[in-house]
Amino acid sequence: MNTTIESFAQLELSPPILEALAGIGYETPSPIQAACIPHLRAGHDLLGEAQTGTGKTAAFALPLLDRLDLSARKPQVLVLTPTRELAIQVAEAFQRYAKNLPGFHVLPIYGGQSMVVQLRQLSRGAHVVVGTPGRVMDHIERESLDLDSLKTLVLDEADEMLRMGFIDDVEWILEHVPIERQTALFSATMPDAIRRVAHRYLRDPREVKIKAATTTVTTIRQRFCQIAVAHKLDALTRILEVEEEFDAAIVFVRTKTATVELAEKLEARGYAAAALNGDMTQQLRERVIEQLKGGGLDIVVATDVAARGLDVPRISHVINYDIPYDTEAYVHRIGRTGRAGRTGTAILFVAPREMRMLKVIERATRQPIEPLQLPSREAVADKRVAAFRHQVATVLESEDLDFFHDVVAGMEDSHNADIHDIAAALAFLAQRERPLQLPQSAGPDIATQTAARAERPPRENREAILERRRDFSDGRLQRYRIEVGRNQQATPKDIVGAIANEAGIESRFIGQINLYEDYSTVELPADLPHDVIDILRRVRVRQHQLNIRPLDRDEAQRDAARPRPGAGPRFGAKPAPRGEDAPRKPYAKPWDKPAGKPASDRPHGGKPFHTDRRDTQGTAFKPGKKKPQRDR
Ligand code: AMP
C-alpha cells in the first residue's frame, strides 16, 4: 500500500476527473485507490483483495475512465457484478465520476429488465457496460454486446459471484472476451476457486491487499450499530442524548461536504458542533480544535485527513458515522479517544452491506465489537424529562422566585386554574424549542429495527442486504410452477440466475428444476414471503414472465411421478430427448459433485460448456463465431 499518496492529483488523474472528485467532496484517495489506480492506469492486470466500503469502485472506475476513447461509443470496459443492485450502484458511480466527460455513456444490464429496452440501449452504444453474468452472457450470445473494442474486464465481488453460483458464467465470459485485454479481479476474500480463476485468466497481475493493522485498544469500549443510511442522523442524536459520561465527540464522515452538512444539522438540533476538513485553512482548523479543547464546541465532524493527529483529551466518544476504508483508518480514528489515560467509547455505524467490514475490523483489533442497542423514543424522552426535572430542581434551589410566585398566583386567580395545570402549561412552553418527546414518525421505531438486528449474529455483506428476503427457509422445499420451459429456450441456469438475482435467493436455496415444453417446476423454500413471490411473478426469463405459483397437491404428485433419470450437476447437464412432456435430468444442489472424471481430468480444467480459447494462438476472439456448447 502506498501511504505517501495524499491527493488524487498525485495519482495523475485527468483534470475533468479531479474536478468531479472535488465536486463530490472526496478529499484523499482511500488506500485501495492509492494502490490500484497507478497499476490500472498503466494497463496492468490486477488482483485486489478488498471489501465493500474500501472505495474499490472508484479504485477501478477512475483510472478506467481516464483510459476511455470517448469518440468511440463502443463498450471499452465491461464490469461484472453479482447482483443487479451492485450493477446499478457501480454504473451510478461511473456516471458521477464521469460528470465532466462529455458524451460519456454507461449502461447497466441485468436480468429481469426488458430485453427489448436493453437491446435498444446497447445498439445506441455505451463506453462502459456493467452487468450481471447471466444477462451479459445472453448479450454475448446474441451478439448484441459488441466486444471488439473491449479494453478492460472487471470482476467485482468475485467471491460473491462464486457464492451465488455464477462462477461458470464468469469463466464463460472470460473465454469470450478478447484475449488482448486488461483484467481486474476484486474479491473480499480469496477462496481457492477465485485464486484459480485469477491464475488462469489474469496476466502477471499486480496484487493489492489492504493490510490489516493488528492492534489492541483496551481502553476503548467499541460498539457498533447496524443502521440504514437514512436513519443515521436520528440514531446519532439519540446516542448523543443518552450516552453516559459524554463529554465531547468526534464524528467521522467520508467527504468534506458531509462534514459541513452534518455539522449544520447537529447545530440545528442544538448541539455545539462544527466541521473540520481539508478545505479549511490551517488557522480555521486550529480555531475549531481550540474551541473543542476549551469546551466551546462539543462535537467536531471530521474527515480522516483533517483529524489526523488530533489530541484533545476531553473527547469521550468517537463516532464512525461512515465506516472507514480499512482497519488502519479505524484504529487511527478510535485512537482520538481514550487519551491521557482516560477511557473512551467508539461507536461504529454499519450499513447492512458493510457487515463484512465489521468482521475484518474485529479481527484486526483483536477485540469483539459489541452490538449497540439504539435508545428507543421512550428512553430518549425519559432522559429529557430527567434533565428537565433536574433543571427545575436547580432553579427551585438557587433562584429568587418571588416575582414568579406572584405571576403564577395571578394566573390561578384570573383563570381559576389548578396549580398543576398551570405548571403543566409552563412545562409545555419550556420544552417547545426542544420537545421532551421525540416526534412520532411513520413506521416502527428505528430502535426496534436495530434491536432485531442486534439479536442476530452479524451477517456478511450481501446476505445482510437481502436478509429481509431470506428470512425464510426453515429448510423445507416446495415445488413451484413457472411459465417458461424448453420451447422458450430456458435453461436451468437462466432460471437459477433470474431467481437468485431478482429475488435475492441464494442458489443453495434453489433445489431441483424440471424443464417441460412450456413450463418448468422448481423447488424453492416452502415459506417464501409474499413479497418475494410477487417479485418472482414478474421476473422474466428469456423474455417470458415467470408468473410463479406453488403447485397444488395433484400437480406436485404428477410432477413427482415423472420418470427421473439419475441426478447430475444442475449446471451443464445435457438436454433430455425432446418430445413428450418429459422432464430433463433433475439438477442436483450446487454442492453435489458432478459425476464422472474429476475436474482436473476433464478437458479445459473441468469447465463443462465451452472450448478453451486461451490456448489457441492468442488470436482475438470474435464474439458469436463459436456458439457455446452448453445447454442454453
Ligand atoms: P465502495 O467500497 O466502492 O462501495 O465505496 C464505499 C463508499 O465510499 C461510497 O459511498 C463512495 O462514494 C465512498 N468513497 C469512495 N472513495 C472515496 C474517497 N476517496 N473519499 C471519500 N469517499 C469515498
User: What string of DSSP letters covers 338-404?
Assistant: S-TT--EEEEEEE-GGGHHHHHHHHHHHTSPPEE-PPPPHHHHHHHHHHHHHHHHHHHHHHS--HHH
Q: Is the CB of 356 under 6 A from ligand 1?
A: no
Q: Whose CA is nearest to atom 1 of ligand 1?
A: 55
Q: Out of 6, 210, 254, give the residue to mutate to test ligand 1, the one with the largest number of ligand atoms within 8 Å of its CB.
A: 254
As a whole number of angstroms, the distance between CA 298 and CA 318 comes to 12
556 backbone dihedrals φ, ψ, rounded to 5°: -65, -40
- State which ligand 1 atom lies nearest to the alpha carbon of 29: 19
Q: What was the pLDDT predicted at 313?
A: 86
CATH classification of 476-561, choosing from 3.40.50.720, 3.90.226.10, 3.30.70.330, 3.30.428.10? 3.30.70.330
Q: Whose CA is nearest to atom 11 of ligand 1?
A: 55
Spacing, Cα 36 to ligand 1 middle (Å): 14
Q: Whose CA is nearest to atom 8 of ligand 1?
A: 55
Q: What was the pLDDT predicted at 456?
A: 41
SS3 222: strand
Q: Out of 10, 30, 32, give the residue to mutate to test ligand 1, the one with the largest number of ligand atoms within 8 Å of its CB.
A: 30
As a whole number of angstroms, the distance between CA 520 and CA 490 comes to 9
As a whole number of angstroms, the distance between CA 619 and CA 617 comes to 5
As a whole number of angstroms, the distance between CA 93 and CA 115 comes to 24
Spacing, Cα 54 to ligand 1 middle (Å): 7
Domain with CATH 3.30.70.330 in the chain: 476-561
Q: Is the CB of 57 under 6 A from ligand 1?
A: yes
Q: Is the dihedral of CA 88, 89, 90, 94 positive or negative?
A: positive
Strand partners, 482: 520
Q: Which 8-state DSSP code applies to residue 568?
A: B
Q: What was the pLDDT predicted at 614?
A: 30
pLDDT digits (tens, 9 = 90+) for 254-304: 999 999 999 999 998 889 999 999 889 988 998 999 999 999 999 999 998
Q: What was the pLDDT predicted at 114?
A: 85
Question: 473: which 3 cell numbers?
Answer: 427457509
H-run or E-run covering 184: strand 182-187
Matching residue, cell 424549542: 433
Strand partners, 131: 80, 109
CA distances from 328 to 55, 334, 338, 412, 609 (A): 14, 10, 17, 64, 44
SS3 482: strand
CA-closest candidate to residue 631, choices 141, 119, 133, 113? 141
Q: Whose CA is nearest to atom 19 of ligand 1?
A: 29
- Cα dihedral angle (560, 561, 562, 563), rounded to 10 degrees? 110
Looking at 415-472, which runs of residues are DSSP E strands?
A: none
Is the domain spanning 8-209 CATH 3.20.20.100? The answer is: no
Q: Is the CB of 255 under 6 A from ligand 1?
A: yes
Spacing, Cα 325 to ligand 1 middle (Å): 8
Q: Is the CB of 132 under 6 A from ligand 1?
A: no
Q: Is the CB of 461 under 6 A from ligand 1?
A: no
CA distances from 518 to 483, 514, 578 (A): 7, 11, 12
As a whole number of angstroms, the distance between CA 106 and CA 320 comes to 32
CATH of domain 220-376: 3.40.50.300
82 backbone dihedrals φ, ψ, rounded to 5°: -70, -30
CA distances from 449 to 373, 394, 445, 462 (A): 10, 37, 7, 18
Spacing, Cα 322 to ligand 1 middle (Å): 10
SS3 35: helix
pLDDT digits (tens, 9 = 90+) for 448-458: 665 545 444 33
CA distances from 89 to 94, 181, 186, 579 (A): 9, 24, 16, 44
150 CB-contact burial (10 Å; exposed 0-12 / middle 13-18 / buried 19+): buried
Spacing, Cα 255 to ligand 1 middle (Å): 9
624 CB-contact burial (10 Å; exposed 0-12 / middle 13-18 / buried 19+): middle
544 backbone dihedrals φ, ψ, rounded to 5°: -110, 130
CA-closest candidate to residue 334, choices 316, 350, 351, 357? 316
H-run or E-run covering 141: helix 133-142
Q: Is the CB of 52 under 6 A from ligand 1?
A: yes
SS3 30: coil
579 backbone dihedrals φ, ψ, rounded to 5°: 85, 175
Q: Is the CB of 60 under 6 A from ligand 1?
A: no
Q: Is the CB of 53 under 6 A from ligand 1?
A: yes
Q: Is the CB of 48 under 6 A from ligand 1?
A: no
Under-50 pLDDT residues of the chain: 1-2, 452, 454-474, 564-632
Spacing, Cα 147 to ligand 1 middle (Å): 29
Domain with CATH 3.40.50.300 in the chain: 8-209, 220-376
CB-CB contact of 197 with 167 (8 Å): yes
Name 135's Cβ contacts closer than 8 Å, sequence gap at least 6.
Answer: 109, 110, 111, 113, 118
405 CB-contact burial (10 Å; exposed 0-12 / middle 13-18 / buried 19+): exposed
pTM equals: 0.56
β-bridge pairing 520-525 and 477-482: antiparallel
Q: Out of 26, 32, 360, give the residue to mutate to test ligand 1, the one with the largest number of ligand atoms within 8 Å of its CB.
A: 26
- 604 Rama sector, left if φ>0, alpha if ψ -120 to 50, beta otherwise: left
As a whole number of angstroms, the distance between CA 512 and CA 561 comes to 14
Name 179's Cβ contacts closer than 8 Å, sequence gap at least 6.
Answer: 613, 614, 618, 619, 620, 621
Question: 110: which 3 cell numbers?
Answer: 441485468
CA-closest candidate to residue 519, choices 542, 497, 546? 546
Spacing, Cα 453 to ligand 1 middle (Å): 25
As a whole number of angstroms, the distance between CA 466 and CA 551 comes to 26
Strand partners, 587: 568
Q: Is the CB of 89 under 6 A from ligand 1?
A: no
CA-closest candidate to residue 188, choices 59, 50, 363? 50
- State which ligand 1 atom lies nearest to the alpha carbon of 93: 12
Q: Is the CB of 353 under 6 A from ligand 1?
A: no
Question: 299: which 3 cell numbers?
Answer: 462535537
Matching residue, cell 417441460: 516
CA Rg value for the chain: 29
Question: 548: which 3 cell numbers?
Answer: 410463479
- State which ligand 1 atom lies nearest to the alpha carbon of 27: 20
H-run or E-run covering 185: strand 182-187
Spacing, Cα 398 to ligand 1 middle (Å): 53
Q: How many CB atoms lie within 10 A of CB 614?
A: 12
Q: Is the CB of 569 under 6 A from ligand 1?
A: no
Q: What was the pLDDT predicted at 496?
A: 83
